Structures are given as structure tokens and as C-alpha cells.
Amino acid sequence: MPSDTPYNADSQLDIDALVFHNKPTPGKLAIASTKPMSTQRDLALAYSPGVAAPVRAIAADPEAVYDYTSKGNMVAVVSNGTAILGLGNLGPRASKPVMEGKAVLFKRFADIDAVDVQIDYTDPDEFIACVRGFGDTFGGINLEDIKSPECFEIERRLRELLDIPVFHDDQHGTAIIATAGLINACDITGRKLEDIKVVLCGAGAAGLSVLELIESIGVRKENTIVVDIEGVVYEGREGLHERLAKHAVKTEARTLAEAAAGADVLLGLSAGGVFTKQIIASLAPDPIVFAMANPTPEITPEEVKSVRDDVIMATGRSDYPNQVNNVLGFPYIFRGALDVRARTINEEMKIAAARALAALAREDVPDEVAIAYKGERLQYGRNYIIPSPFDPRLISWVPPFVAKAAVESGVARLPFAEGVNYTHTLARRLDPTAALQQRVAASIQAEQKTIVFAEGEEPSVIRAAHAFQSQGLGRAILVAREDIALGNMRELGIAAGSLEICNARLSEHNSEYADFLYERLQRKGYLRRDVQRLVNNDRNVFSACMLKMGQADGMVTGVTRHSNVVMRDVKLALEPAEGGRAVGIAAAVSRGRTLIIGDISVTEFPDAQALAEIAIATANSSRRLGMTPHLAFLSYSSFGNPPGERSEKIQHAVRILDGLGVDFEYEGEMAADIALDPGHHELYPFSRLTEAANILIMPAVHSASIAVRLLKAAGGATVIGPMLVGLEKPVQIARLGASVTDIVNLASIAAYDLNKPAA
């Protein structure tokens, strides 16, 4: 974090956020090429003279811009910073971290490339002219954090001026999610939309958009009342802006309490604490209360519960049921709009998104969601009316509804490709690294395993242990001397007592571990005093003994020692899993392809039997990571050409698998380019791989290590690993000097336990 930053962070979260945004590269976005740029021909095709061809094609047919540029998958996230995240008017520069964050969410949840654009204009005319000038560069415009009422005019006029989707998420994102929840809440309570009495507290952009969208699906205007900071919005009240005046109704009510009496639905998009217990008590039977102010809702579920127990409640917070979370909306709405090249996002598309989300909440909840909620099996009902953001089906569920509505309402340039192919394409768009991390985190949050951080005196390890535990990923134990660990915790601002510290020398299990280790090693040249010294002084040995004796579920280490040294220490106490072999694997993710590579860290020159065992362990772990194995044994040769002693070893490994009758696809020996080519059957029609390989078994550690580093350094791959599998207990070995994030990720992998069979 830059030392001259004038802002003084006052919490560990603030400090972590500043470091997160600053290291290793400032910001959260980067530009990556989708085409190779490694040869002279690549350059000639990408720029002059080759680029002239698509230029002429687009000049002849402007719609060809979607075929030859990234426009069709590119969104601009635009703000002037006049209403930042409830922080107020802090200007366009201050809004940039938020807009970058929005762009990241577009990519993470819908594989949409987004660019943040901050505009230093507060005058609507100037702002509109600016966006109109660059708008055609993009496939869509997402307006964000623009104050009310200017945001209404800005969005309306830009929608008229631009022939692409323009969407103000602060208005419509919240409206769509809240509408989905209201549809289901009415269904559960047996109400019809046209009969319900609705009171809205909060007449800002989001509040009025919620009201307008629910009116679009059947709520009658005469059954709604809006309350702003001045009181009830009634006919004849002076000083109302045009958008708000449309919602003025005839009523004798002048206060929120008067308006809410007998209401079926109470919507809050105002400020914390606005709803009193008396107001809640005055509502109709089985009322629906959406208290969506953040971070403090208008009233908490606990306060509502103290008054009555027949309320269906939603908030904007993730720690309560029924979270109204915009990330359920905008990524998937734009995904569907872009996929049919929609000219706008209209009311029909918003309603389609709301109905899609409502329908998804009524489906059986997948295991991933149950795991994310600590094993609770959520079921459609009062505490589950809105899908979870963790639901992996969102990407393939919502966009088809939106795309179809765009086509049927006449705003799409392309037909709707309804069917399984479109949903499969959508599912493949999700970033596999993020999906893997989410899968692991959701699982271990439910299981709450105990993970030992062996190098517990290191500041990075302490921070990682604290992050692991505070994020609810499990219980952390530091193996360390108390005085050193506590001193480092004080310097890091981590409260004493927040992490358990285990001093190996003083542990109540010290003698037990020494007895176990001596019995194990006494015929391998170790004296009793040797093993006692190991238990007292070697934290890796001590931590491995903790796992062996059942005092912990997994461990992470390696920050201060080379992996081969750590592996030697750990194997003093732990054996390979029954019938297995310790293997180091890595997941490399690049350009939409995930490759699992093994063995990258354990067996230097495996023989045929070892290669077969490595293949089995790697395939099993890949299944645990959610992949279907298509495994290739790599070599310099392909199917015997050119012949050689080393390729014969690999051929023998294949024959061993043949004899074992394993239940996954495998083939070899093969050159890397052949294995990764989905069309290699043209040359080798006998190949048993039905798809391009996604698991690569290397002939030796050095080739595996070289391949992974090349993929990362030259190929731009994101690499997770090495991940250790095949020991009887989960151990993960970080690289020397690993970052806090790396350590947390490996601790999560240890808790997830890649040795377990896939579900």
C-alpha cells in the first residue's frame, strides 16, 4: 500500500482492501489479447496490412462489426461518481474502484468483457453527449452510481440515442431481483399481484424502478403508496420531480406509519432503522417486508421476529435469508441481450429476467448451494424466495429468458438459439478457476475442517490463517512459539486469542507423537532422542503427526522451506493413501481451457508402474475438481514414432491401465500438440480420446515443471498448484514465499481433500 495515501484505513478489512487493490498490480482489470501475437504473420493479420480486410467488410456492412471485433461481448461501465455505493458524490476518480469491480463481476459471472469509463460531467446534457460519442464502440452501456433524479433522464435519453442496450443497474438491477422475490412471496402467501397493497419507502432511483416493474407485472397503481423523506407522495403535493409525480396517489395518509397500516407489502430502499416494530405489527396478516437498505436494513429480521412470526422477509445482506443481490441480475441480463445483439433492454426483458429468477428459486436446490449454506438444504418457501448467488445454474438459466424476450419484443438483431446448445455454451463461459475456488470454498464452509498452518510464526502464514478462519472456511491452528506468534499478531492488528496457537515442545500430545514416531522409525536408523528432537523442533513433522493422530484434518506448509525438504519431513509421519502414490498436480487455466498436469513435484523419473499410479491419482483428483477425465500420457513421440526407450516406458504404463480396467479415458504416448488437438482423430482414428485431453501426464518432474512454468509465463495461464494428492492425509505445500492468497487457497484445498471420491 502506498505510504503517502492520505486516507487512513481504520480496520483490518480496509487495510486488506487497499493492499488487494494495490498488489501485485494496481487495480482489478487488465487487457488480454484473444489472438496470438508471436510471429510476423500474426502481426500482419492483426494490424497492417491484414486489418484492412475487416475494415472494408465493416464499411460495406456496419453489422459486420459484430463478426470481426469484440463489440458484441464488450460493455462500458459508466459513472460520474455522483452517488457512489451510498458514500455520496465523491467524483469520477473515486468511483473507479467500484466501476472496475462491476467490470470484474461482468467477467466472473457472465464472461462479458467490460471497461470502466469515468466521466467528469455532472450536467446531464454534457454527460449524455459524451456517452453518445463513444457509445457505439460497445455492445452495451451499464450506467452506475449516478445521482437521482438526473439518472432517470440520462438513461432515458441514451436509450433513445443509442442502438445498443443501456441499463442503469442501480435502478433496474434491484428492481428485477426484488420483483422475482415478490412473485414468489405472493405465491407462497396465496396472494394475487393485482390485489396486494404495496407501500414503498424510499423514492430514489432503485425504489421507483422497483415500483414501476412490479406495476408492469400486475400490481395496480391505485394500490401503491410511495413515501419519501418528506412523507407520503400524494396527489397535490408540491415540489415533486416528474418521475416521482407519476406515482402520487389519492390518499389521506401522510406518514409512513399511516400508509403501512394494513399493507400487504412493505418495500424499503431508504435508510437503516426506518421501519419500527409498531409499523411491522400494523401490517396485514402474512406480510411481505423487503428491507433493502445497506449495510443496515430498515429493520432487521431479529426485530421483525420479536414482533410477529408470519413475515416473509428479504434484505440486501448476505447474512440473512433472501438476499436481494444485484449480481443475480445484471451479468445475466446483459449476457442474454448481447447474445441476440439486442438494441435495448426493455421492460419485457426485465420482466423475463425477474420471472426466470422466480422460477429458478422453485427448482430443487443443487448441492453447491446447500454446501454454501453450511449444509442447510434450502427449499422453496418463506426463507428461500430468491435464488442464491452461488447457484451454478444462473448462467445457463437466466440469459435464455432474456434473449427470448428480446427476440419476441422485436429488439434483437439475431434469432434466439433456443435449446440445449445455447445453455451448454453459456455454462462453459464461466471462468473455471473462479468456479473451482467457489466450489471448494462452498464445500469447506459447510464442513468446517481443522487446518494446521505449520509455519505459524511467519506473518504471511498468520494473515492467511486469520483470513481462512474469518472467512468461515474452517478452523485454523498455528504451530508456533506463543511469544513470537502473538508479537507478530499484534503487529498485524490481529487480536490475541482469535487464532489457536500450538507450541510443539509444550503440547500435551508431545509424548504421544514421539512414541508414535519412534515406533515408526526405530528400524530406519532413528534413536528415541532423534524422534523427540524432530517432534520438538520440526514443525512439519509435528503437524504431520497431528494429522496422523486425528487432532487436525489437513495442513499447509512450504512458505519457508523447499518442497522436497517439506515432503521428506511429512513422509516421516504419513504414508501414501492405500494403493496410491503421492503426486503433485497443477491446474492451468488459459483461454477457456483447463488442463490438469501431473506429476509436477514428487517422483523425478517415474517408471511405467509409477506413471500408471500417477495417472489414476490425477484422474481421481480431477473428478473431485468437477472435471471428466480425458487423459493423455505425453512424450516427444506419438504412438511409437519416433521409437525410443522412454516412449516404451509410457506404452507400458498404458498397458498397465488396460489391465486394470480403469473407468476414465486415457491414451498415449502422444506429443503435446496432438493431445490438445480435438481433431487429432484425422491422423490417428484409433485414438481412444473422445475429446481433446484435459489431463496431461508428464514423463518426468522436470518436463512437468517446465511445461507449467511455460504455460504461466508465456501462455498467460492461471496456475493453481502444485496441489499434493495421494497421501493418507491432506497436505498442501506452498511455494517459497507464497502470498497470503496462495496460502489461503492451498489451505482450502487441504480442507477440501482431493483424495476423497467425487460426489
Which residues are known catalytic residues?
A: 47, 102
Q: What is the DSSP letter of 210?
A: H
Q: Could you tell me if residue 322 is left (phi over 0), alpha (psi between -120 and 50 degrees) or otherwise beta?
A: left
Bridge partners of 597, per DSSP, are 586, 696
Compute the distance between CA of residue 210 and CA of residue 310 in angstroms, rounded to an integer. Answer: 23
Segment 638-644 long-range contacts (CB within 8 Å, at least 24 positions apart): 638/669, 638/670, 638/671, 638/674, 638/684, 639/669, 639/670, 639/684, 640/669
- Judge whether 680 and 664 are in contact, CB under 8 Å: no
Give start and end residues of each alpha helix (H) in 571-678. Answer: 608-624, 645-660, 672-675
Compute the distance between CA of residue 439 and CA of residue 319 in angstroms, rounded to an integer. Answer: 19
Pairing of strands 583-590, 593-598: antiparallel
- Judge whether 477 and 552 are in contact, CB under 8 Å: yes
Q: How many CB atoms lie within 10 A of CB 603?
A: 19
Nearest Cα neighbor of 461 from 557, 567, 350 is 557
Bridge partners of 697, per DSSP, are 598, 633
Compute the distance between CA of residue 78 and CA of residue 119 in angstroms, rounded to an integer. Answer: 7
DSSP string, 13-29: HHHHHHHHHHSSSSSS-
How many residues in the chain?
A: 759
CA angle 446, 448, 451 (to 5 degrees): 145
Compute the distance between CA of residue 163 and CA of residue 379 in angstroms, rounded to an integer. Answer: 41
Q: How many CB atoms lie within 10 A of CB 686?
A: 7
| DSSP element (H, E) containing 117 | strand 113-118
- Judge whether 750 and 732 are in contact, CB under 8 Å: yes
- Report phi then psi at 268, rounded to 5: -115, 120
Contacts of 667 (CB under 8 A, 6+ apart): 631, 632, 633, 654, 675, 687, 688, 689, 693
- Judge whether 544 and 555 are in contact, CB under 8 Å: yes
Give start and end residues of each alpha helix (H) in 315-431. Answer: 330-339, 347-361, 367-372, 394-408, 420-429
DSSP string, 499-548: SEEE-TTT-TTHHHHHHHHHHHHGGGT--HHHHHHHHHH-HHHHHHHHHH
Give start and end residues of each alpha helix (H) in 362-508. Answer: 367-372, 394-408, 420-429, 432-447, 459-470, 482-492
Cα Dmax for the chain: 96
* Bond before 24 cis per omega within 30 degrees: yes
Compute the distance between CA of residue 160 and CA of residue 157 in angstroms, rounded to an integer. Answer: 5
- Judge whether 468 and 554 are in contact, CB under 8 Å: no
Contacts of 646 (CB under 8 A, 6+ apart): 635, 636, 699
- Computed over its alpha carbons, how large is the radius of gyration of the chain? 29
Q: Which amino acid is at 484?
A: I
